């Protein structure tokens, strides 16, 4: 029993209790399903706060370790090994924080097969939390691949018109990368003798050219998930077809898993290869930033616009991580959180208007500011945060990343940071264009005249996100404090 009461184990697997409860509820009791899921995710969030409370921010080590030998026969050394440190604590919190909000957003959006929806949603939470906490490569792989399955169902069952295509594409793309990672994991396990990440880092000593191959194999999985240009083509399809809550989780958490993977595995396991690859990754990241921004600008579909903006924003994250200096990595981590909050909020906002109008075409809107002033205000704030206005969260992350990239030895050129800065301007262009097309000008469509402004539930969803947008924007120190020691420890190897 003790095992299940260890904080991280409890946190990871608590949503399974909700799943269990849901299994016993009749399919017709839809609001019971919603409430069960909501309460489960809220308790999980509470548990993550409890974990935060026990977390010692001054230390850069792995903490709150839950560790058991799992498969240790016949030359295997696989452990059940969960732990948290400064690199992952914020992402875990982000996950548990976005879950209840996403569930709230489905309250009226998902009417069909609510029970199944909630089961998949809670299973997804287990997988995501596990990915951020696992410190054993086998365990990590299991969680990593497991997240695919519920997300596949979420897109495939509750998605838009081309949902099956999008779901299968999402599945095959992500799996293509993961299977290569599986081989790299096995190589490490066979030739380094253990699957535990700290054990592997301590051991080190992988020859340079093999490091490069392993780096590439891991990068294949993570780069597709991030997604880095040119491996991003699954993302717009998945985002556009996914239900709103799915998009929120996809953008808010699933993409972070890719960037987190680079941070957690590629950098410490393959330091030499990381240094060698840094300029190339940075180049791809910058291409992604610019490409994402330009393509966003051309979109007619609001959701697609936000999806491509993710490609651009995640480019920043990757640029920061591969600056391989404290500013870059801290900025990268913070930007992951920022992107989760801002883009999550954007998807929620798009979902709210979609529920009212059943279209996402930019041309179908116009002058909404007059009809829905509250909705307009909130969208403006989120859009400004997403494009990096000083005083809001986006600015802090992007600025730190640019700072890191300018001073980075690993990247080795100012050009990357310079071009990335252009991306910030482009972000302002497409975000403001979107805002203008939706909210300004005359209300020239009849359907738009009778739209209702946000209701209480919707406000309740958005307010927590806005709180963080301002908090991180105005006073980011507590967030940086959480990760600083761990980042420092990570960079010792370089």
Q: Are the beta carbons of 426 and 293 closer than 8 angstroms?
A: yes
The window from 178-186, 306-314, 352-360, 399-407 that contacts other proteins (CB under 8 A) reads: 178-186
The window from 139-147, 227-235, 299-307, 456-464 that contacts other proteins (CB under 8 A) reads: 139-147
Q: Which of 163, 264, 303, 437 binds other proteins (CB under 8 A)?
A: 163
Classify each residue of 398-420 as buried b or exposed e, where b means 16 or more C-beta atoms within 10 Å of its C-beta: bbbbbbbbbebebbeeeebbebb
> What's the DSSP call for residue 228?
P
Q: Which two tokens mark 14?
A: 């608590």
The window from 73-81, 286-294, 304-312, 379-387 that contacts other proteins (CB under 8 A) reads: 73-81
The window from 71-79, 245-253, 305-313, 375-383 that contacts other proteins (CB under 8 A) reads: 71-79
Q: Which of 55, 132, 138, 480 binds other proteins (CB under 8 A)?
A: 138
* Whole-number Cα distances in Å, 266 to 255, 280, 341, 480, 486: 16, 14, 25, 22, 15
- Residues in 31-70 at the binding interface with other proteins, rule: CB under 8 A: 70
Quick check: 179 binds other proteins (CB under 8 A)? yes
Quick check: 182 binds other proteins (CB under 8 A)? yes
Q: Which of 362, 354, 382, 394 minimizes the C-alpha distance to 463?
A: 382
Give the whole-angstrom CA distance, residue 16 versus residue 47: 14
Provide the minimum distance between the beta carbon of 186 and other proteins in the complex, in angstroms, as a whole number. Answer: 5
410 three-state secondary structure: coil
- Angle made by CA atoms 252, 256, 260, in degrees to the nearest 5: 155
Quick check: 29 binds other proteins (CB under 8 A)? no
In this structure, are strands 78-84 and 63-71 parallel, antiparallel, or unpaired? antiparallel
Quick check: 116 binds other proteins (CB under 8 A)? yes
Quick check: 25 binds other proteins (CB under 8 A)? no
Quick check: 141 binds other proteins (CB under 8 A)? yes
Helices (H), 106-136: 114-133
Quick check: 375 binds other proteins (CB under 8 A)? no
Provide the minimum distance between the beta carbon of 72 and other proteins in the complex, in angstroms, as a whole number. Answer: 7
Residues in contact with other proteins by the rule CB under 8 A:
70-76, 113, 116, 138, 141-143, 145-146, 148-149, 152-153, 156-157, 163-164, 167-168, 171-172, 175-176, 179-180, 182-183, 186-187, 189-190
């Amino acid at each position: 029993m003790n095992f299940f009461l260890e904080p991280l184990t409890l946190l990871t697997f608590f949503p399974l209790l909700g799943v269990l409860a849901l299994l016993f509820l009749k399919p017709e009791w839809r609001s019971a399903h919603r409430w069960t899921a909501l309460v489960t995710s809220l308790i999980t969030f509470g548990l993550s706060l409890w974990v935060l409370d026990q977390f010692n921010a001054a230390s850069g080590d792995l903490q709150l370790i839950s560790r058991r030998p799992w498969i240790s026969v016949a030359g295997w050394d696989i452990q059940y090994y969960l732990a948290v440190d400064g690199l992952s604590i914020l992402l875990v919190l982000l996950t548990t924080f976005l879950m209840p909000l996403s569930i709230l957003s489905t309250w009226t959006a998902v009417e069909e097969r609510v029970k199944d929806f909630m089961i998949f949603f809670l299973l997804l939470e287990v997988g995501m939390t596990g990915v951020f906490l696992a410190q054993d490569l086998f365990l990590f792989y299991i969680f990593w691949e497991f997240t695919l399955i519920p997300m596949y169902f979420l897109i495939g069952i509750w998605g838009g018109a081309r949902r099956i295509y999008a779901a299968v594409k999402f599945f095959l793309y992500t799996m293509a990368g993961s299977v290569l990672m599986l081989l790299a994991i096995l190589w490490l396990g066979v030739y380094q003798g253990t699957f535990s990440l700290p054990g592997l880092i301590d051991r080190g000593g992988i020859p340079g050219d093999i490091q490069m191959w392993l780096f590439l194999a891991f990068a294949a999985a993570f780069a597709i998930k991030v997604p880095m240009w040119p491996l991003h083509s699954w993302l717009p399809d998945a985002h556009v077809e996914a239900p709103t809550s799915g998009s929120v989780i996809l953008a808010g958490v699933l993409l972070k898993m890719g960037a987190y993977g680079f941070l957690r595995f590629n950098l410490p396991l393959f330091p030499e290869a990381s240094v060698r690859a840094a300029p190339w990754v940075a180049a791809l990241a910058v291409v992604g930033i610019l490409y994402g921004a330009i393509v966003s600008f051309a979109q007619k579909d609001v959701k697609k616009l936000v999806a491509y903006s993710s490609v651009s924003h995640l480019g920043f994250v990757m640029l920061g991580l591969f600056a391989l200096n404290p500013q870059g990595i801290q900025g990268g981590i913070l930007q992951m959180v920022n992107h989760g909050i801002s883009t999550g909020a954007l998807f929620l906002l798009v979902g709210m208007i979609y529920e009212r109008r059943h279209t996402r075409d930019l041309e179908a809107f116009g002058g909404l500011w007059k009809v829905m002033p509250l909705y307009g205000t909130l969208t403006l704030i989120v859009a400004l945060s997403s494009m990096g206005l000083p005083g809001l969260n986006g600015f802090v992350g992007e600025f730190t990343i640019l700072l890191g990239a300018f001073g980075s030895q690993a990247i080795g050129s100012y050009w990357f940071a310079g071009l990335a800065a252009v991306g910030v301007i482009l972000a302002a262009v497409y975000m403001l264009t979107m805002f203008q097309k939706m909210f300004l000008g005359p209300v020239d469509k009849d359907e738009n005249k009778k739209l209702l402004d946000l209701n209480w539930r919707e406000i309740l969803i958005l307010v927590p996100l806005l709180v963080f947008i301002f908090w991180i924007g105005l006073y980011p120190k507590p967030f940086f404090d959480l990760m600083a020691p761990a980042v420092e420890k990570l960079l010792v190897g370089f």
